[in-house]
Amino acid sequence: MLIFIENLFELRAGFVSLQCCAPSNVTDPETKISWTSDIDLFPKKGSCENISISVANNLTHNQARIFGTSSGNKWCYNLTTTTGRDYLIRGTFLHNSSPRTIPEIYFDVSLGATTITRVNSLVESLEVEGVFRATNDHVNFCLVKKEGNPYLSKLELRPLKELDYLKSDSSKLLKVIRRVDAGNTQGLIRHPYDVNDRIWNLDAIQSENISNINTIVSLANATIPVQVLHTALTDSKRLMFYYDDLDEGINEYQIILYFLELNDSIRIGQRVFDIYVNGVKKHENFDILENDQNTNYREVVLNTSANGVLNVSLVKVLDGIEFGPICNAYEIYQKVDLVEGTLQQDGPFNLFISPDFLFSTTVEGV
């Protein structure tokens, strides 16, 4: 099944924001994002399921559309893009699982012919997100059946403004592994504070949190919201971000660390630390203020390979340095090779076209 989504966007931001099975269109009062229901796309296709509050914790939408096998084995949302522009795409998958859910449901999520990840019903709530550069005037976001009926709760497409995640290699898709607002324990940050609607998640690490809402980013072109930068983690000796749930096998990763010095009294040379990735020193004697008194903000991009485990450590340099490491935010992406071409469709598929939100259905062979 191939579903064409046109004009499902906010004219000002160019966002596509689709809520599956929502009773009506709605604007979120906090994020100011206008969400479009898919209820008219599928008047006779699939079914809707309410998700328990515990599964949909902290989410404003708790429905999912279930795609039955009677209408095919692949379901692709066709989204309009601009060639050469970078986009963020995000799917949210909610499922009511229980010990009686046997066998488990699993299906692949792909961008065109490129598999992003596999969704498993054992994980009740999952966000799948990637960054890519459009090579055409459209892109297909697909659910590919493996076992059981695939499901989807939300689909979002965001054109990225003034960001260059793919500067080093635009032939990759960057799958989001973590995006963390370090030191923040109050609530996640997204649009409208982040004009690109990246979701900055709460920090789960127990360490010393510091904040300074009055700190100004001096003469720097910060690429993340100041609301994210105004909190940080620090430690007298070492900060460590450790993840052991990555995909098995050797994979390439891009790590972006964001630093804003929140202590206005600190001067050059008072906070210096080394940056390690899986025990390998990637940056020696790092100083946010490094030889430049005009800026208190820096970003560091690190590329590495790993097999299932990633350990990013910031370690204080011992030679008379007064303050330990600090980190305000970080992102971890897995690099995925983009596969040219499109997924092969099995048998007939339903084509949904949506001019001005009026949907019609035709059936075509492949």
Tokens 């992102």 locate to: 331
pLDDT in the model for residue 7 = 46
DSSP string, 209-246: EEE-TT----S---SS-HHHHTEEEE-SSEEEEEE--S
- pTM of model > 0.85: yes
Which residues lie below 8 Å from residue 277, measured CB to CB, with a gap of 6+? 255, 302, 304, 310, 311, 312, 313
pLDDT in the model for residue 1 = 60
Which residues lie below 8 Å from residue 269, measured CB to CB, with a gap of 6+? 287, 321
pLDDT in the model for residue 8 = 43
Tokens 């596969």 locate to: 339
Tokens of 313: 């450590």
Cα–Cα distance measured from residue 232 to residue 260, given in angstroms and rounded to the nearest whole number: 8
pLDDT in the model for residue 55 = 55
pLDDT in the model for residue 93 = 96
Question: Which domains are seen in the chain, by residue range?
Answer: 2-167+339-364 (2.60.120.430), 173-336 (2.60.120.430)
Cα–Cα distance measured from residue 219 to residue 207, given in angstroms and rounded to the nearest whole number: 29
Distance of CA 228 to the CA centre of its chain: 16
Q: What is the mean pLDDT of each run of 10 residues along the chain (366 residues)?
A: 50 78 91 88 75 63 82 84 95 78 84 95 92 93 92 95 90 96 90 94 74 71 91 93 94 97 91 97 94 82 97 91 94 95 47 32 26
pLDDT in the model for residue 131 = 98
